[in-house]
Amino acid sequence: MKAKFIFSFLTAMLLAVVSGLFIATAVGIPPAVTVPVLTVASFIPKTQGVLNAGVYTEVWVGEVVKAFKVEGSFLAKVPQYDRYVKNDVIHLVEIGAKPEVLINNTTYPLTPQALGDSDIPIGLDKLETVPTAITKDELYAISYAKIQAAIELHKDSLIESALNRAIHAFAPAADATGTPVVRSTGGNNGNTFNRVLIADLIKLKRKFDDLKIPNDGNRILVLCPQHVEDLLLVSESFQKQYQDIKSGKVLNLYGFEIHEYVNMPKYDGSFDKKAFGAAAAGTDRDASVAFYAKRMFRAKGSADMSYSEAKKDPLNKRNLVSFDQRFIALPKTQEAIGAIVNDTFS
């Protein structure tokens, strides 16, 4: 990105010098006069038009890519396989994943095509931001500070979208061998459901132990806000430890690294995971999700920028920008994932 600026600068300088010498020779003016004048003029801001260098989209996209980081989230320990992405497609055989990751998938609009050797290529999902208005100075900026300020909302939107899809994909479709779904056993939470108890977390731990899932610091439990509330109300020890989460410290509880996230998947009245983005219903059950990080994967692909200029929008006279980022996160196989789901109070 920076190389282009250097190239443009040197090109402008060279053009100014050559033009200055040509004009000096043609009209009999000393080069010492024409060359400095044209050099300074080449860096004066121009009105947008044929002579303008335009929008440095590659710089904008580069800043978006650098800002797209999930290292401080529940995805931090999930292996990253960007290096295996080719043309925004990742091949399961290359990352050690199995075809059954596609079974009952309700998160991504996957369109796999089976190949030989049990390989399945999967197209990365496109995360898109809503266009926002920016100033003319920002749109044509070559200042990294201006660009970074302008993309802040878009960066946050892309990361949130990636995390929403990832945690939904890591949640088991239903209670089954290898994908335990533990039902809450506490008292009425005021919404006809049982509260979650510490005993429910311990039961999920036992389920993971029975499945021989390594307890090596890579078990992750992402709590939904409702379950955090339950545990704060019923467990004094959790209250004290919860302060560690809010202060940025990693909380480990019963072998799980504890995280909290607000946009968690929902389960229906039959304890089946609802499709990603499905409409809310009165039978929705809150859920917290557990997974073994080393058996998940995430991958990031290409990014792009779309923009429209105010001069081409006579009605609103606004400069608009939006971005998209290719991304996917899935279990490598349908195992080492689990959930705690609200049971109906009776």
The angle subtended at Cα 185 by Cα 180 and Cα 190, nearest 5°, is: 125
Q: Are residues 139 and 103 in the same domain?
A: yes
Q: Are residues 120 and 31 in the same domain?
A: no
Asked if residue 122 belongs to a domain, the reply is: yes
Closest Cα to residue 89, out of 73, 108, 70, 71? 108
Closest Cα to residue 218, out of 82, 334, 78? 78
Asked if residue 55 belongs to a domain, the reply is: no
The widest CA-to-CA distance across the chain, in whole angstroms, is 100
Q: Are residues 225 and 301 in the same domain?
A: yes
Q: Are residues 167 and 20 in the same domain?
A: no
Q: According to the model, what pLDDT value does residue 47 have?
A: 42
Q: Are residues 35 and 124 in the same domain?
A: no
Beta pairing, strands 132-134 & 337-341:
unpaired
Q: Look-up: residue for tokens 């050559």?
A: 18
Q: Are residues 211 and 322 in the same domain?
A: yes
Digitized pLDDT (tens) for each residue of the chain, 346 residues in all: 445 445 455 555 555 554 544 444 544 566 554 445 445 455 444 443 333 457 788 888 888 888 888 877 999 999 999 999 999 999 888 788 776 776 667 887 665 555 555 677 888 999 999 888 888 888 887 677 778 888 888 999 999 999 999 999 999 999 999 999 999 999 999 889 999 999 999 999 999 999 999 999 999 999 999 999 999 998 888 888 887 766 767 788 999 999 999 999 999 999 999 999 999 999 999 999 999 999 999 999 999 988 888 888 888 788 888 999 999 999 998 899 999 999 999 8
Structure-block tokens of residue 206: 């036992």
Q: CB atoms < 10 A from the CB of 21, how many?
A: 14
Give the 3-state secondary structure of residue 77: coil
Closest Cα to residue 285, out of 225, 342, 214? 342
Give the 3-state secondary structure of residue 153: helix
Q: Are residues 31 and 140 in the same domain?
A: no
Asked if residue 54 belongs to a domain, the reply is: no
Q: According to the model, what pLDDT value does residue 205 have?
A: 98
Q: According to the model, what pLDDT value does residue 152 have?
A: 85
Q: According to the model, what pLDDT value does residue 338 have?
A: 98
Number of domains in the chain: 2
Beta pairing, strands 337-341 & 181-183:
parallel
For residue 109, the one-letter residue type is P
Asked if residue 50 belongs to a domain, the reply is: no
Q: Are residues 137 and 204 in the same domain?
A: yes
Q: Are residues 129 and 275 in the same domain?
A: yes
Q: Are residues 203 and 287 in the same domain?
A: yes
The DSSP output letter for 289 is E
Q: Are residues 37 and 86 in the same domain?
A: no
Asked if residue 298 belongs to a domain, the reply is: yes
String of DSSP letters for 199-259: HHHHHHHHHHHHTT---SS-EEEEE-HHHHHHHHHH-HHHHHHHHHHHTTPPEEETTEEEE
Q: Are residues 6 and 123 in the same domain?
A: no
Provide the β-strand partners of residue 319: 134
Asked if residue 37 belongs to a domain, the reply is: yes
Share of the chain residues as helix, strand and coil, in percent rounded to the nearest 5: 35, 20, 40
Q: According to the model, what pLDDT value does residue 38 have?
A: 46
Closest Cα to residue 91, out of 70, 62, 118, 129? 118
Asked if residue 51 belongs to a domain, the reply is: no
Domain that holds residue 17: 2-41
Judge whether 112 and 139 are in contact, CB under 8 Å.
no
Asked if residue 47 belongs to a domain, the reply is: no
The CATH code of the domain that includes 242 is 3.90.1690
Question: Which regions of the chain does DSSP assign to beta strands (E)?
Answer: 89-91, 121-123, 125-128, 132-134, 181-183, 219-223, 251-253, 256-260, 287-292, 296-308, 319-331, 337-341
